[in-house]
């Protein structure tokens, strides 16, 4: 395991790429993703220090997820841009990205975050639980429910 | 780095700076001695580290003095980059940029200040530096302080050699020390 980050720069260099990708996948819009990425790291800098023993990754996802959900509640809409999503998710079989983007977009914010954290970002359930501030069982349940809905939508 | 990502980072760091959250800007510079990790704080250069990543102990010193706001910043390093480039090309004999030795012990600071006075092209010994730092018997301790010099090249610890003229040691490796002395045309046998 890496040492705990001592500086903003270390935190940024270690995690900014995946957080930027996560922001893109969550919001679907490049401009929104940039805002979310900036807001997440600024909030992390203000709240310094991060939790110890390598938990800073889940901490950043938690900040990003909460901000994305807040933003969505305020805006009441998230429109996925297929071009941006194409950068984020590999095209699979006969399901088009547009289908997938549409399906993900219809998920409630909490389920969408759980789905993206697990299926796109590849986080462990323990990390998802930390990021979403729920139990591991609840995290599994959210991912599984999201997966069921996405499968149904693209079937 | 992806262009959009880089632009987003610039804007993020701009916002962090305006909020007063950042204190030190760092960069990795290419040099004839390989990559150099350099950091600049409010009072001047704090660090030149051989390699593209600083040691954890160096970061701890920076954080102890200036807090965790140590962030990538290409613009801030440009004056140092220019002076180093001129030095490596043999066109600069003294550095004009300010150095910041905050966070070091008083003895380390005295040893490095004495070292900073050794002119381009000259060499001195650990014993002489120890004497100039106020403790003639502390040549071994002076060697230790020089080995942990946070700002090599600009604070020219490469100009300090053993009493017999042997190069002895250098944090950047003896090859680097040899190259620096060669750039300066220093005659190791001619000591001050």
SS3 A92: strand
Q: Which of A30-39, A74-83, A120-129 has the highest mean predicted lDDT (pLDDT)?
A: A30-39
Beta-strand (E) ranges in A4-113?
A: none
End-to-end alpha carbon distance in chain A = 41
Q: Give the one of A7, A20, A34 whose C-beta lies nearest to B68's C-beta.
A: A7
CA B183/CA B177 separation, integer angstroms: 10
Per the model's pLDDT, the better-predicted residue between A121 and B8 turns out to be B8
Residue A95: the pLDDT is: 57
So what's the pLDDT on residue B169?
Answer: 83
Contacts of A13 in chain B (CB under 8 A): 72
- Contact check, Cβ <8 Å, B21/A46: yes
Q: Is the peptide bond before A149 cis (omega within 30 degrees of 0)?
A: no
Per residue in A107-139, pLDDT (tens digit) is 888 888 898 888 878 888 988 998 888 999 999
- At residue B125, does pLDDT exceed 70? yes
Query: Cβ of B8 and A20 within 8 Å?
Result: yes
Of B12, B63, B72, the CB nearest to A42: B12
Q: What is the pLDDT of residue B12?
A: 97
pLDDT, one tens digit per residue, over A58-71 is: 999 999 998 888 87
Asked if residues A146 and A111 have their Cβ atoms less than 8 Å apart, the reply is: yes
Q: Binning pLDDT at 50, 70 and 90, where does residue A79 land? A: very low
CA distance B148 to B17: 30
B81-107 mean pLDDT: 96
Burial class (CB in 10 A: 0-12, 13-18, 19+), B11: middle
CB contact, 8 Å: A115 with chain B?
Answer: no
Nearest residue on chain B to A2, alpha-carbon basis: B56
The mean pLDDT of B98-113, rounded to a whole number, is 95
pTM for this predicted structure: 0.81
Q: Which chain B residues are closer than 8 Å to A30 by Cβ?
A: 4
Q: How far is B19 from chain A (nearest CA, A)?
A: 9
Supply the residues of B annotated as catalytic.
Answer: 157
- B19 contacts A42? CB cut-off 8 A: yes
Closest among B111, B138, B139 to B125, alpha carbons compared:
B139
């Amino acid at each position: 395991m890496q040492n705990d980050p001592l500086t903003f720069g270390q935190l940024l260099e270690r995690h900014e790429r995946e957080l930027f990708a996560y922001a893109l996948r969550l919001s679907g819009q490049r401009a929104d993703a940039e805002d979310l990425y900036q807001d997440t790291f600024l909030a992390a800098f203000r709240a310094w220090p991060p939790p110890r023993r390598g938990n800073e990754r889940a901490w950043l996802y938690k900040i990003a997820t909460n901000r994305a959900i807040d933003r969505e509640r305020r805006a009441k809409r998230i429109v996925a841009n297929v071009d941006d999503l194409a950068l984020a998710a590999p095209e699979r079989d006969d399901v088009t990205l547009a289908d997938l983007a549409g399906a993900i977009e219809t998920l409630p914010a909490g389920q969408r975050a759980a789905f993206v954290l697990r299926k796109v970002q590849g986080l462990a359930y323990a990390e998802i639980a930390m990021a979403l501030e729920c139990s591991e069982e609840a995290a599994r349940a959210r991912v599984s429910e999201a997966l069921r809905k996405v499968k149904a939508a693209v079937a | 780095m992806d262009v959009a990502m880089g632009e987003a980072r610039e804007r993020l760091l701009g916002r962090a700076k305006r909020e007063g959250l950042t204190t030190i800007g760092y960069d990795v510079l290419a040099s004839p001695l390989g990559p150099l990790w350099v950091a600049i704080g409010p009072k001047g250069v704090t660090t030149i580290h051989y390699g593209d990543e600083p040691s954890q102990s160096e970061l701890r010193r920076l954080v102890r003095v200036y807090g965790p706001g140590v962030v990538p910043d290409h613009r801030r390093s440009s004056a140092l980059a220019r002076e180093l480039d001129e030095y490596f090309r043999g066109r600069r004999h003294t550095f004009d940029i300010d150095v910041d030795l905050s966070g070091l012990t008083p003895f380390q600071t005295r040893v490095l200040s004495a070292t900073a006075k050794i002119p381009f092209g000259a060499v001195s010994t650990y014993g002489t530096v120890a004497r100039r730092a106020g403790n003639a018997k502390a040549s071994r301790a002076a060697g230790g302080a020089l080995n942990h010099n946070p700002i090599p090249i600009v604070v020219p610890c490469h100009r300090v050699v053993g009493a017999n003229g042997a190069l002895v040691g250098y944090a950047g490796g003896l090859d680097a020390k040899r190259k620096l002395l060669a750039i300066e045309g220093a005659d190791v046998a001619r000591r001050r």
